[in-house]
Chains A and B, each alone.
Chain A
Amino acid sequence: MADDSEITKFLQNLKSETDEWVNENIISSAQQQIILDRYPYTSFKSSQGKNYSRLVTILATLGAVATGLGAILFIAGNWENMPLIGKLLLAVITIIGTNLIGYWIKYIKDIPRIGNSFFFLGAILFGGSTFLAAQAYHLEANNPDLLFWWLAGVLPIAYLTKTRSVFILSIVILFVWPGWKIFDSDATAQILIPIYLAIGTSTYVIGKIHRERIIPHSFGITLIFTGVISIFASIYLLSFPDIWRDMWSDSQNLFNDNLSLLLLTCLTLMFIISLLLILTIKPINTLLIMNKKLQYYELFILFVLWASAFLVFLNPHFNNSEILFSILFNLIYLLLAVATVFYGIFLKQGSILNLGIIAFSFLLFTRYLDIFLGLLGTGLFLLSIGPVLIIIGFTIEKMRRKILLNFSITGDQSSD
């Protein structure tokens, strides 16, 4: 049996060799991952070091956040004492400095996690400097467009340096910006629901493309996760009849709002292009390759979700139809939760399974509250809810463990 140092050397060579192949377009990044995954030692070694790596990442990212906020507060706090040109120069020097240090540490010194934290710091400083520059010229304080500016500056850095923390920051900005922008406009607040449903669906589809083709794959996981959360949250809100009543009380045709219409058009284009791309690429997950049908089911659900966003956007309204629509969206939510559970079981991925079960339990609990809170007195209701929750929790946990145990016997595919 080869000793540790020999195996490590072999794996390092394999990694650098396959990196070259990817750069020379001999193999795709997905194929590289499959090759690397062939060696169980890789995952063994990586799991050994994973906890330390995570700790390093967390500490370095926290350090970056603290330093970034400190720098911004220092400049903002010394507003009076510092001339404008001084503030701008300080901002510019810190942005250039942190990014170059990040580059040097990550690519020259080969310490990626620390280097990434510097890129993250650079991203925070760029955002902070943007807001400070706007403040220096007394630009409107509640200006969502500054967020878009920030996003445009940091998203390319995330892709180029493959820094997940910068990517997550970009996604957070990307999700906050349309909400803030719409809230800032004359549009009715309810329009946010179909917009976020469409954003969630598009994000999910784009996440799938990232997962299959774009390095690093972790960006795909981030997108898929954010997309799913956004979808579940939007459908959940639409499962309440009150939301529909509020929407109709405004009696506004949601298509009249130019900003939302523009957003929805862009999202539709993105959704269609991404779907076409998905249909043309071959999935890396072997279980998905084996079962094309599952992919089509998934696409069907995505279409249902997209159609739902359009339905809400059309703001349909006829007598007492709020109950009908709330039932419809309860069913869509239920379908989605059950589909997520089955998807997790099929792909043998515990994280997806857990997500589906949590979503399912959430709906169950909400509807239980809706039905029984009105029927029973508050005291009696609280008395009854405890045992009910324990029973539901116990049953679901038992079911979940049984499925997860089944995964470990047949070999868990989950790598995330």
Chain B
Amino acid sequence: MTKRAKNIFLLIIVIQIFSILGFSFSQEIILRTGEEVILETTPVDPRDIFRGEYVNLRYGISTLTSDQCCFEFLEHDQREEVDYGQTIYVYLEPFEEQWIANKASTSKKGKSNPAHVLIRGKITSIESNCPNTIPDETCKEKEYSIDYGIENYFVPEGKGQEIEQANELKVIARVNSRGIAKISNLIVNGELWK
């Protein structure tokens, strides 16, 4: 190996290390500085794969209706058509010790109320809510499924059932200024989960 190749080799190892540490650092920043929101959730289909056991989470804010989705700007009533896979920003507002979705926009501009939190999501499906007689293309009543990147929670082996069987489950998430959310902890039956 030439000296140059040796240096590149060492550089790549350093990049590998920094990519892992950098990723962890960026996640820690969100967890430490992001705004805290509490979201009501239900566990769906706990799985056991090679990576360990995890719980799939479905939130109240995971489904939006045509009244909520979507507007060009959050504080304007100008409606906007959205498509599958599109990134949207959902306007969260506090309601009885948790946070619910008000409306969504394709732009994160327009948040003027400091009490509100914007969370970034991606449209994963669009379903028509109209009777069969109305074609999908003309139907105005639609239901949008949104993923926020906080749909998986990894747990130690054998603990998935414990979460699945909980009567009440909430997620404490941290959301940064760009709308990226991270799960910080769970509240299972009113208590912080350990």
* Residues of A bordering B, CB below 8 Å: 23, 76-77, 79-80, 84, 88, 91-92, 95-96, 99-100, 103, 107, 126, 129-141, 149, 153, 156-157, 160-161, 185-186
Contacts and interface: CB of A to CB of B under 8 A. Distances in A.
Nearest to B153: A138
B20 A92 contact: yes
Nearest to B2: A23
Interface in B1-50: 1-2, 5-6, 8-9, 12-13, 15-17, 19-21, 23-24, 27, 47, 49
B29 to A, nearest CB: 11
Most A C-beta atoms less than 10 A away, residue of B6, B9, B51: B9
A161 B85 contact: no
B71 interface: no
Nearest to A85: B24
B54 interface: yes
Contacts of B193: none
Contact of B12 (A100, A136, A156): A156
24 contacts: A79-B156, A84-B24, A88-B21, A88-B24, A91-B20, A92-B17, A92-B21, A95-B13, A95-B16, A95-B17, A96-B13, A99-B9, A133-B20, A133-B23, A136-B24, A136-B27, A137-B27, A137-B182, A138-B153, A139-B149, A139-B152, A157-B12, A160-B1, A160-B5
Given A91-B20, A95-B17, A126-B16, A138 B51 contact: no
Contacts of B49: 141
Contacts of B9: 99, 103, 157, 160-161
Contact of A141 (B5, B54, B157): B54
If over half of B's interface residues share one DSSP class (helix, strand or loop), that class is named, otherwise mixed; here it is mixed
A183 to B, nearest CB: 14
B85 A135 contact: no
Contacts of A130: 19-20
A138 B154 contact: yes
Contacts of A88: 20-21, 24
Q: Is the interface of A mostly helix, strand, loop or mixed?
A: helix
Given A153-B12, A153-B16, A107 B21 contact: no
Interface in B35-87: 47, 49, 51-52, 54, 84-85
Contacts of A157: 9, 12
Interface string B85-123: 100000000000000000000000000000000000000
Contacts of B6: 103
Given A79-B154, A88-B24, A153-B16, 14 more contacts: A92-B20, A100-B13, A103-B9, A107-B1, A131-B51, A132-B51, A133-B24, A135-B51, A135-B154, A140-B147, A141-B51, A153-B15, A156-B12, A157-B9
